[in-house]
Amino acid sequence: MSVLSPNDFAQTLPRQSRVMGLDLGSKTIGMALSDLLRVVATPFDTIRRSKFTIDSQTLLTHLDTHQVGGLVVGWPVEMSGQIGPRCQSTMAFIANIQKIRDLPIMLWDERLSTSAVTRTLLEADTSRAKRAQVVDKMAAAYILQGALDALRAFGQ
């Protein structure tokens, strides 16, 4: 299976399954989970990146444990809309995951997600140490919530 359009993604998801949002960084992978109705995205966890085999095993364990039927992956296009090295890295990660597990996967534009989350945390007067602990999984929730809202708007 390849990366799907929102319509194909929604139609391919198994019934009564969650969707997981991923914010792929060079040092961490932020994760968020939807509820079973796919209405609300909740920050979930952060994987400190090491080797792909270790990272993917941790991810797959979470997918199985939490009844995840599909992934929404942040698409890190540049502000100009250009596809750069981070997009290539994201596609490589997706290709490697799909070799291990055939899952519906949708890309979602992640531009400004981390800065929006950081701004919210600053407004909440969150300490620098606490922001560092939660920003990646909150960015994943921001990405996932945007995708969930869009899927609902299209009647999915």
The DSSP-derived string for 1-39 is: --B--HHHHHHHSPTT-EEEEEEE-SSEEEEEEE-TTS-
pTM: 0.87
Tell me what the mean pLDDT of segment 5-18 comes to: 91
Q: What is the reported pLDDT for 29?
A: 96
Model confidence at 121: pLDDT above 80: no
Q: What are phi and psi of 121, to 5 degrees?
A: -65, -35
Instruction: Provide the pLDDT for residue 132.
Output: 57
- In one-letter notation, the amino acid at residue 76 is P
Answer yes or no: is pLDDT of 125 > 70: no
Domains and CATH numbers, the chain: 6-153 (3.30.420.140)
What confidence tens digit (pLDDT) does each residue in 48-105 have? Answer: 999 999 999 999 999 999 999 999 999 988 777 778 888 899 999 999 999 999 999 9
Arithmetic mean of pLDDT, 101-112: 88
β-pairing verdict for 68-75 and 41-48: unpaired
52 neighbors 96 (Cβ within 8 angstroms): yes
